[in-house]
């Protein structure tokens, strides 16, 4: 943290603020669909930053992170939809979702504390699958999650009379539903980024990094590795839970399909591709990996038409193929991620010698 209030950074912050305010209107000109994609990008920033706490800061490889997102989403869906006839207000559900996700984080964290590296990865992966399978099947004998059909007609975010769906006039501007959610998400994302930056340089953040670098040494200097690791799981999970709640409200619909393993993997890819442990990098990774498949969706068909005059290859698989190749190529040429932290890129020189094993 340098001095926040020097003139240059003030101008920078002001520029970013203007850009962030103008963005939904600029993007909205290309269609509301793009504003929705923008919202998803921010939601993924949220998720990626949460996972970054676990993977990037504490170095615990978590392949089941989406489970916490699912817990948050289903908490919102069950407490604010006609499914159970409950309609809790936002300020009640979001904390409940966060606390529940946090509880699940500890539930996952506590039996896995002893595990190292890839053993942890597979257990977290299994945990994510268990959560998804339960959501898929808890419709009988007691219908809790409505099974694979999912839950529909979920309440949007609402503060008093102000609802985040439908258009409304604010300060003379016409805002569509996605635009309103955009501003809510940006506000939350800024909060999350600030929390993350502060965490990284806090005592806990340093403890996490110490564990990441060498757990035994961390223990030796008096860090309570058990509690600190659990805290990483719990905090990462609660970010996921909040993101999940907003997701449910924004979509109005949740089903187990949205929480498959591939989603966990995508969020992990965002963290690693952006630059693990480096907050700006993670944000970049999340935004890029949300937009890339969507942009490809729009680009693949016209390009094929122009090249061959007809659609030769199924556009859906072609776009995922390019996406997969992009992952491989980025990792090939930027092994530490697109925007790694300065310390990490410096370390990488030494890692080459050590890394063979």
Partner 1 sequence: MDIFLQQIINGLVQGSIYALVALGYTMVYGIMGLINFAHGEVVMIGALVSITVTGTLAAAGMPLGLAGLCGLVAAILSCMALGWSLERIAYRPLRGSPRLTPLITAIGMSIVLQNLAMIVWGRNYMTFPPLLPKINFEFAGTHFTLVQVVIVLLSAAMMAGLVFLVYRTKLGMAMRATAQNPAVASLMGVNTNRVIAAAFVVGSALAAVAGVMVGSYYEIAHYQMGFMLGLKAFTAAVLGGIGNLAGAMAGGVLLGIIEALGAGYIGDLTGGFLGSHYQDIFAFVVLIIVLMFKPSGLFGEKTGDRA
Interacting positions 242-261 with partner 1 (CB under 8 A): 261
> With binding defined as CB under 8 A, does residue 294 bind partner 1?
no
Q: In 3D, which of 163, 164, 150, 148 has the Cα closest to residue 36?
A: 164
> With binding defined as CB under 8 A, does residue 326 bind partner 1?
yes
Q: Which stretch binds partner 1 (CB under 8 A): 57-65, 78-86, 191-199, 244-252?
A: 57-65
Q: Name the residue nearer to partner 1 (CB basis): 20 or 321.
A: 321
Q: Name the residue nearer to partner 1 (CB basis): 137 or 174.
A: 137
Binning the chain into helix, strand and coil, the percentages to the nearest 5 are: 70, 5, 25
Minimum CB separation of residue 186 from partner 1 in Å reads: 28
Name which position in 71, 120, 186, 246 contacts partner 1 (CB under 8 A).
120
> With binding defined as CB under 8 A, does residue 320 bind partner 1?
yes
DSSP assignment, residue 152?
-
Buried b / exposed e across 110-128, counting CB within 10 Å, b at 16+?
eebeeeeeeebbebbbebb
Beta strands in the chain (DSSP E): 80-81, 86-87, 158-159, 162-163, 168-170, 173-175
Name which position in 23, 96, 144, 327 contacts partner 1 (CB under 8 A).
327
Q: Name the residue nearer to partner 1 (CB basis): 125 or 188.
A: 125
Q: In 3D, which of 128, 104, 125 has the Cα closest to residue 115?
A: 125
Q: Name the residue nearer to partner 1 (CB basis): 147 or 176.
A: 147
Name which position in 89, 95, 126, 252 contacts partner 1 (CB under 8 A).
126
> With binding defined as CB under 8 A, does residue 308 bind partner 1?
no
> With binding defined as CB under 8 A, does residue 130 bind partner 1?
yes
Name which position in 19, 106, 187, 348 contacts partner 1 (CB under 8 A).
348
CA dist 201 → 28, 209, 280 (Å)? 37, 10, 15
Inter-residue contact 244 to 72 (CB < 8 Å): yes
Burial tier of 89 (Cβ tally within 10 Å: 0-12, 13-18, 19+):
middle
Minimum CB separation of residue 353 from partner 1 in Å reads: 7
What is the Cβ-side half-sphere exposure of residue 183, based on CA atoms within 13 angstroms? Answer: 12
> With binding defined as CB under 8 A, does residue 276 bind partner 1?
yes
**In whole angstroms, what is the distance from residue 53 CA to residue 71 CA?**
18
Minimum CB separation of residue 98 from partner 1 in Å reads: 24
> With binding defined as CB under 8 A, does residue 352 bind partner 1?
yes
Inter-residue contact 242 to 93 (CB < 8 Å): no
Q: Name the residue nearer to partner 1 (CB basis): 121 or 185.
A: 121
Minimum CB separation of residue 116 from partner 1 in Å reads: 6
> In this structure, are strands 168-170 and 173-175 parallel, antiparallel, or unpaired?
antiparallel
> With binding defined as CB under 8 A, does residue 295 bind partner 1?
no
Buried b / exposed e across 193-228, counting CB within 10 Å, b at 16+?
beebeebbeeebbebbbbbbeebeebeeeebebeeb
> With binding defined as CB under 8 A, does residue 353 bind partner 1?
yes
Number of chain residues interacting with partner 1 (CB under 8 A): 63
> With binding defined as CB under 8 A, does residue 37 bind partner 1?
no
- Site residues (vs partner 1, CB under 8 A): 55, 59-61, 111-112, 114-123, 125-127, 129-130, 133-134, 136-137, 140-141, 212, 214-216, 261, 265, 268-269, 272-273, 276, 313-314, 317-318, 320-321, 323-328, 331-332, 335-336, 344, 348, 351-357
């Amino acid at each position: 943290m340098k001095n926040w209030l020097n003139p240059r950074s003030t101008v920078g912050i002001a520029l970013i603020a203007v850009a962030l305010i103008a963005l939904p209107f600029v993007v909205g000109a290309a269609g509301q669909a793009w504003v929705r994609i923008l919202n998803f990008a921010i939601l993924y920033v949220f998720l990626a930053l949460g996972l970054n706490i676990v993977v990037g800061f504490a170095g615990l490889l978590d392949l089941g992170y989406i489970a916490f997102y699912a817990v948050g989403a289903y908490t919102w869906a069950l407490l604010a939809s006609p499914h159970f006839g409950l309609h809790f207000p936002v300020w009640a559900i979001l904390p409940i979702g966060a606390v529940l996700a946090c509880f699940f984080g500890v539930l996952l964290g506590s039996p896995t504390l002893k595990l190292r590296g890839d053993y942890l990865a597979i257990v977290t992966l299994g945990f994510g699958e268990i959560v998804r399978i339960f959501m898929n099947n808890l419709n009988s004998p007691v219908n809790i999650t409505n099974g694979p059909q999912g839950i529909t007609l979920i309440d949007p975010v609402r503060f008093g009379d102000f609802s985040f769906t439908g258009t409304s006039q604010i300060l003379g501007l016409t805002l569509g539903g996605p635009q309103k959610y955009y501003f809510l998400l940006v506000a939350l994302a800024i909060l999350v980024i600030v929390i993350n930056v502060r965490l990284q340089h806090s005592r806990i953040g340093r403890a996490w990094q110490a564990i990441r670098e060498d757990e035994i040494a961390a223990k030796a200097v008096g860090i309570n590795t058990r509690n600190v690791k659990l805290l990483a799981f719990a905090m990462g999970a609660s970010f996921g839970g909040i993101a999940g709640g907003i997701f449910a409200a924004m979509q109005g619909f949740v089903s187990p399909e949205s929480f498959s393993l591939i989603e966990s993997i995508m969020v992990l890819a965002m963290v690693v591709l952006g630059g693990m442990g480096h907050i700006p990098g993670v944000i970049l990774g999340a935004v890029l990996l949300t937009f890339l498949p969507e942009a490809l969706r729009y680009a693949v068909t016209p390009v094929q038409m122009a090249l061959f005059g007809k659609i030769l290859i199924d556009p859906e698989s072609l776009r995922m193929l390019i996406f997969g190749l992009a992952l491989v190529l980025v990792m090939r040429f930027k092994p530490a991620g697109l925007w790694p932290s300065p310390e990490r890129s410096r370390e990488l020189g030494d890692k080459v010698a050590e890394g063979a094993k």
